[in-house]
Protein backbone atom coordinates (compact mmCIF):
# COMPACT_ATOMS: atom_id res chain seq x y z
CA UNK A 1 0.00 0.00 0.00
CA UNK A 2 1.32 3.43 -0.93
CA UNK A 3 2.30 5.74 1.95
CA UNK A 4 -0.19 8.61 2.11
CA UNK A 5 2.02 10.91 4.18
CA UNK A 6 0.50 13.10 6.87
CA UNK A 7 -0.76 16.59 7.60
CA UNK A 8 -0.60 18.15 11.06
CA UNK A 9 -2.03 21.42 12.38
CA UNK A 10 -1.01 23.61 15.27
CA UNK A 11 -2.49 26.87 16.55
CA UNK A 12 -0.34 29.37 18.42
CA UNK A 13 -0.64 33.12 18.98
CA UNK A 14 -3.24 33.57 16.25
CA UNK A 15 -1.18 31.59 13.72
CA UNK A 16 -2.32 28.34 12.13
CA UNK A 17 0.58 26.08 11.21
CA UNK A 18 0.01 23.37 8.60
CA UNK A 19 2.85 20.84 8.37
CA UNK A 20 2.90 18.12 5.71
CA UNK A 21 5.33 15.26 5.32
CA UNK A 22 6.04 12.23 3.20
CA UNK A 23 9.02 9.84 3.46
CA UNK A 24 9.87 10.37 -0.21
CA UNK A 25 11.04 13.96 -0.18
CA UNK A 26 7.72 15.35 1.02
CA UNK A 27 6.21 14.29 -2.30
CA UNK A 28 2.47 14.60 -2.80
CA UNK A 29 0.20 11.60 -3.39
CA UNK A 30 -3.50 12.17 -3.96
CA UNK A 31 -4.66 11.63 -0.39
CA UNK A 32 -2.09 14.06 0.96
CA UNK A 33 -3.10 16.68 -1.61
CA UNK A 34 -6.75 16.22 -0.64
CA UNK A 35 -6.00 16.56 3.06
CA UNK A 36 -3.87 19.66 2.48
CA UNK A 37 -6.63 21.36 0.47
CA UNK A 38 -9.23 20.50 3.12
CA UNK A 39 -6.98 21.73 5.92
CA UNK A 40 -6.34 25.07 4.20
CA UNK A 41 -10.11 25.47 3.75
CA UNK A 42 -10.76 24.62 7.40
CA UNK A 43 -8.16 27.02 8.77
CA UNK A 44 -9.51 29.69 6.47
CA UNK A 45 -12.70 29.57 8.55
CA UNK A 46 -11.14 28.93 11.96
CA UNK A 47 -11.02 31.97 14.25
CA UNK A 48 -7.95 30.56 16.01
CA UNK A 49 -5.85 31.43 12.94
CA UNK A 50 -5.51 34.95 11.60
CA UNK A 51 -2.71 33.86 9.26
CA UNK A 52 -1.57 30.46 7.98
CA UNK A 53 1.98 29.08 7.74
CA UNK A 54 2.43 26.17 5.34
CA UNK A 55 5.55 24.11 5.97
CA UNK A 56 7.01 20.61 5.61
CA UNK A 57 9.12 18.35 7.77
CA UNK A 58 12.83 17.72 7.37
CA UNK A 59 15.69 19.94 6.29
CA UNK A 60 16.72 19.13 2.72
CA UNK A 61 13.47 19.15 0.71
CA UNK A 62 10.43 21.39 0.99
CA UNK A 63 8.46 19.42 -1.60
CA UNK A 64 9.46 16.96 -4.32
CA UNK A 65 6.21 17.46 -6.22
CA UNK A 66 3.91 14.72 -7.49
CA UNK A 67 4.25 11.21 -6.11
CA UNK A 68 5.99 9.09 -8.74
CA UNK A 69 4.59 5.93 -7.19
CA UNK A 70 1.10 7.24 -7.77
CA UNK A 71 1.88 8.48 -11.28
CA UNK A 72 3.16 5.02 -12.18
CA UNK A 73 -0.08 3.47 -10.88
CA UNK A 74 -2.40 5.56 -13.08
CA UNK A 75 -4.13 3.42 -15.72
CA UNK A 76 -6.68 5.75 -17.32
CA UNK A 77 -7.18 9.38 -18.26
CA UNK A 78 -9.90 9.69 -15.62
CA UNK A 79 -7.56 8.37 -12.92
CA UNK A 80 -4.86 10.76 -14.06
CA UNK A 81 -7.28 13.66 -14.17
CA UNK A 82 -8.37 12.99 -10.61
CA UNK A 83 -4.76 12.86 -9.45
CA UNK A 84 -3.79 16.15 -11.07
CA UNK A 85 -6.99 17.73 -9.77
CA UNK A 86 -5.43 17.30 -6.33
CA UNK A 87 -2.99 20.08 -7.22
CA UNK A 88 -5.79 22.14 -8.72
CA UNK A 89 -7.91 21.87 -5.57
CA UNK A 90 -4.98 22.79 -3.32
CA UNK A 91 -4.09 25.84 -5.41
CA UNK A 92 -7.73 26.95 -5.47
CA UNK A 93 -8.02 26.43 -1.72
CA UNK A 94 -4.99 28.67 -1.17
CA UNK A 95 -6.40 31.23 -3.58
CA UNK A 96 -9.86 31.23 -2.00
CA UNK A 97 -8.65 31.25 1.60
CA UNK A 98 -9.50 34.67 3.10
CA UNK A 99 -6.27 34.62 5.11
CA UNK A 100 -2.71 35.08 3.97
CA UNK A 101 -0.76 31.87 3.48
CA UNK A 102 2.98 32.05 4.19
CA UNK A 103 5.07 29.23 2.73
CA UNK A 104 8.27 28.15 4.49
CA UNK A 105 10.70 26.60 1.97
CA UNK A 106 13.63 25.11 3.86
CA UNK A 107 15.03 23.01 1.02
CA UNK A 108 14.62 21.92 -2.58
CA UNK A 109 11.37 22.66 -4.38
CA UNK A 110 10.36 20.58 -7.39
CA UNK A 111 7.42 20.56 -9.82
CA UNK A 112 4.18 20.76 -7.87
CA UNK A 113 6.12 22.13 -4.93
CA UNK A 114 6.90 25.20 -7.04
CA UNK A 115 3.16 25.50 -7.59
CA UNK A 116 2.57 25.53 -3.84
CA UNK A 117 5.27 28.15 -3.29
CA UNK A 118 3.70 30.22 -6.06
CA UNK A 119 0.15 29.91 -4.73
CA UNK A 120 1.29 31.08 -1.30
CA UNK A 121 0.77 34.77 -0.68
CA UNK A 122 4.31 35.10 0.64
CA UNK A 123 7.12 32.56 0.46
CA UNK A 124 10.31 32.75 2.50
CA UNK A 125 13.15 30.37 1.60
CA UNK A 126 16.68 29.45 2.55
CA UNK A 127 19.68 29.49 0.26
CA UNK A 128 19.23 25.71 0.04
CA UNK A 129 15.83 26.10 -1.62
CA UNK A 130 16.93 25.56 -5.20
CA UNK A 131 13.97 24.81 -7.44
CA UNK A 132 13.00 23.20 -10.70
CA UNK A 133 10.01 22.76 -12.97
CA UNK A 134 10.92 19.24 -14.05
CA UNK A 135 7.71 18.28 -15.88
CA UNK A 136 8.82 18.72 -19.49
CA UNK A 137 11.75 16.36 -18.99
CA UNK A 138 9.18 13.69 -18.07
CA UNK A 139 6.98 14.26 -21.10
CA UNK A 140 4.51 16.40 -19.14
CA UNK A 141 4.41 20.13 -18.50
CA UNK A 142 3.57 22.49 -15.62
CA UNK A 143 -0.02 22.77 -16.82
CA UNK A 144 -2.03 22.74 -13.59
CA UNK A 145 0.43 24.77 -11.55
CA UNK A 146 1.26 26.99 -14.53
CA UNK A 147 -1.25 29.77 -13.83
CA UNK A 148 0.00 30.12 -10.25
CA UNK A 149 3.66 30.13 -11.28
CA UNK A 150 3.03 32.52 -14.17
CA UNK A 151 1.14 34.91 -11.90
CA UNK A 152 4.02 34.95 -9.43
CA UNK A 153 7.13 35.06 -11.62
CA UNK A 154 5.91 36.57 -14.91
CA UNK A 155 5.90 35.13 -18.42
CA UNK A 156 9.60 35.47 -19.21
CA UNK A 157 10.74 33.62 -16.08
CA UNK A 158 7.97 31.05 -16.51
CA UNK A 159 9.22 30.35 -20.04
CA UNK A 160 12.76 29.90 -18.73
CA UNK A 161 11.67 27.58 -15.93
CA UNK A 162 9.24 25.43 -17.88
CA UNK A 163 11.21 25.03 -21.13
CA UNK A 164 14.65 24.56 -19.58
CA UNK A 165 13.37 22.28 -16.80
CA UNK A 166 16.69 22.91 -15.04
CA UNK A 167 17.68 23.62 -11.44
CA UNK A 168 17.81 27.26 -10.37
CA UNK A 169 19.35 28.79 -7.27
CA UNK A 170 17.23 30.34 -4.54
CA UNK A 171 18.59 33.78 -5.42
CA UNK A 172 17.02 33.47 -8.88
CA UNK A 173 13.78 32.56 -7.15
CA UNK A 174 13.93 35.82 -5.26
CA UNK A 175 14.86 37.85 -8.33
CA UNK A 176 11.88 36.52 -10.30
CA UNK A 177 9.44 36.86 -7.41
CA UNK A 178 8.88 33.23 -6.44
CA UNK A 179 10.50 33.90 -3.06
CA UNK A 180 9.78 37.14 -1.23
CA UNK A 181 12.83 36.62 0.97
CA UNK A 182 15.87 34.34 0.94
CA UNK A 183 17.73 33.79 4.20
CA UNK A 184 20.97 31.90 4.96
CA UNK A 185 19.70 28.91 6.96
CA UNK A 186 16.76 27.23 8.71
CA UNK A 187 17.30 29.13 11.96
CA UNK A 188 17.05 32.41 10.06
CA UNK A 189 14.08 31.03 8.12
CA UNK A 190 12.06 30.23 11.24
CA UNK A 191 12.86 33.64 12.68
CA UNK A 192 11.70 35.42 9.50
CA UNK A 193 8.56 33.31 9.10
CA UNK A 194 7.54 33.71 12.72
CA UNK A 195 8.22 37.45 12.71
CA UNK A 196 6.00 37.98 9.66
CA UNK A 197 3.30 35.62 10.91
CA UNK A 198 3.08 37.36 14.30
CA UNK A 199 3.01 40.75 12.60
CA UNK A 200 0.11 39.68 10.38
CA UNK A 201 -1.72 37.96 13.25
CA UNK A 202 -1.93 41.37 14.92
CA UNK A 203 -3.29 43.04 11.78
CA UNK A 204 -6.94 43.64 10.88
CA UNK A 205 -8.46 40.41 9.48
CA UNK A 206 -10.85 42.43 7.35
CA UNK A 207 -8.05 44.49 5.83
CA UNK A 208 -6.01 41.38 5.04
CA UNK A 209 -9.00 39.65 3.45
CA UNK A 210 -9.73 42.68 1.28
CA UNK A 211 -6.08 43.02 0.27
CA UNK A 212 -5.94 39.34 -0.63
CA UNK A 213 -8.93 39.81 -2.93
CA UNK A 214 -7.09 42.64 -4.67
CA UNK A 215 -3.87 40.65 -4.99
CA UNK A 216 -5.74 37.74 -6.60
CA UNK A 217 -7.79 39.79 -9.07
CA UNK A 218 -8.29 38.33 -12.57
CA UNK A 219 -8.02 34.72 -11.41
CA UNK A 220 -11.73 33.88 -11.22
CA UNK A 221 -11.47 31.71 -14.33
CA UNK A 222 -9.05 29.33 -12.61
CA UNK A 223 -11.92 27.17 -11.34
CA UNK A 224 -12.58 26.27 -14.97
CA UNK A 225 -9.03 26.55 -16.31
CA UNK A 226 -7.27 24.24 -13.85
CA UNK A 227 -9.52 21.20 -14.51
CA UNK A 228 -8.83 21.62 -18.24
CA UNK A 229 -5.12 21.72 -17.53
CA UNK A 230 -5.46 18.60 -15.36
CA UNK A 231 -6.97 16.79 -18.34
CA UNK A 232 -3.99 17.75 -20.52
CA UNK A 233 -1.61 16.35 -17.92
CA UNK A 234 -3.65 13.16 -17.61
CA UNK A 235 -3.59 12.56 -21.36
CA UNK A 236 0.16 13.12 -21.58
CA UNK A 237 0.77 10.87 -18.59
CA UNK A 238 -0.45 7.86 -20.61
CA UNK A 239 1.84 8.47 -23.61
CA UNK A 240 4.69 6.04 -24.20
CA UNK A 241 7.30 8.77 -23.73
CA UNK A 242 5.95 9.78 -20.33
CA UNK A 243 5.47 6.20 -19.17
CA UNK A 244 9.09 5.33 -19.97
CA UNK A 245 10.44 8.51 -18.42
CA UNK A 246 8.55 8.02 -15.16
CA UNK A 247 9.38 4.30 -15.03
CA UNK A 248 13.06 5.23 -15.21
CA UNK A 249 12.77 7.26 -12.02
CA UNK A 250 13.64 5.16 -8.99
Per-residue pLDDT at 1 = 47
pTM for the full predicted model: 0.96
Per-residue pLDDT at 75 = 96
18, 52 contact by CB (below 8 A): yes
Q: How far apart are CA 126 and CA 128, in angstroms?
A: 5
| pLDDT tens digits along 215-246 | 999 999 999 999 999 999 999 999 999 999 99
Strand order in the sheet with 61-63: 61-63, 108-110, 131-132
Task: Report residue 148: phi and psi, to 5°.
Answer: -70, -40
Q: pLDDT tens digits, the chain, 250 residues: what are they? A: 456 799 999 999 999 999 999 999 999 999 999 999 999 999 999 999 999 999 999 999 999 999 999 999 999 999 999 999 999 999 999 999 999 999 999 999 999 999 999 999 999 999 999 999 999 999 999 999 999 999 999 999 999 999 999 999 999 999 999 999 999 999 999 999 999 999 999 999 999 999 999 999 999 999 999 999 999 999 999 999 999 999 998 6
Per-residue pLDDT at 249 = 85
Torsion angle, alpha carbons of 156, 160, 161, 165, to 10:
160
32, 5 contact by CB (below 8 A): yes
Q: Give the residue extent of every domain in the chain.
A: 6-186
Per-residue pLDDT at 216 = 98
Pick the CATH number of 6-186 from 3.30.428.10, 3.40.50.150, 3.30.420.40, 3.90.226.10: 3.90.226.10
Amino acid sequence: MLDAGKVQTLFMDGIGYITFSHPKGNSLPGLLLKELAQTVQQLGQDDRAQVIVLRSEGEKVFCAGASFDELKAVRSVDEGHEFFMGFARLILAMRNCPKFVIARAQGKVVGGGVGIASAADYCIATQAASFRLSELALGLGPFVIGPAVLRKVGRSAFNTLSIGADWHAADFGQSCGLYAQVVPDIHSLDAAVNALAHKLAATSPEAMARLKQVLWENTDEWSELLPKRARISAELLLTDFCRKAIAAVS
